[in-house]
Amino acid sequence: MSETHIRETDIFDKPTVTVLDYGSGNIRSAVRALERAGAVVTLSAKPEDVLNADGLVVPGVGAFASVMDELKAVDALRMIGRRVAGGRAVLGICVGMQILFDAGVEHGTHREGMGEWPGTVELLPAPVVPHMGWNTVTAAEGSMLFEGVESERFYFVHSYGVQKWDFEVLQPKMRPPMVTWSEHGAPFIAAVENGPLCATQFHPEKSGDAGARMLRNWVKSLAKVAS
């Protein structure tokens, strides 16, 4: 077997991931981190790339309302919704996580989110914001994302977060989302795992070895589904 054929086979066997390109800051680090985690990565907002990839990563930097406007401008809200409805994997990062909740309130302005999860993104009641730097998390029992890094630190950069979780289980057999917490001034949600829909408030691509392991866990879950 030739070296070229081996490389082509390796690429073919890797899960595909699209990092949503809608104008949100520097996301090249996320692309590189996902490639190192074992994915074939495309940076794009084209519907064929967003809808057909094994996994979609929704990054986010800045204000809640601005990110919602930018996502809407490229029709990303509809495409994310289609993936979620179809049980296709989505990973939100930072504000890309926040917009999945009911609403965000920044500087007195209330803006509706996607409403996938209950909760409002609000200013953290801490003496110093933004919450910038490394912090531990209390990982949900049985977490797929945090397997092997439950006690590690992750890198946060944010002033707002969801501080209350009130999820109503509508059906007895329904499995509620797994919620991971951290704390800065008050407890806030650091990650949610809800079947194919996952998200982190911290930046795994900036979280060293712990973040790399977390991304490998997520990419590995895509490989299982793809196979």
Catalytic site residues?
94, 203, 205
Where do runs of H (alpha helix) occur along the chain? 3-13, 28-36, 47-52, 64-73, 76-85, 95-98, 208-226
The per-type count for the chain, helices as H runs and strands as E runs, is: 7, 13
The tokens describing 173, both together, are: 């057999």
3-state secondary structure of 58: strand
The answer to whether residues 140 and 193 touch, using CB atoms and an 8 Å cutoff, is: yes
Measured CA to CA, the distance from residue 83 to residue 99 in angstroms comes to: 15
Measured CA to CA, the distance from residue 153 to residue 4 in angstroms comes to: 39
The answer to whether residues 98 and 160 touch, using CB atoms and an 8 Å cutoff, is: yes
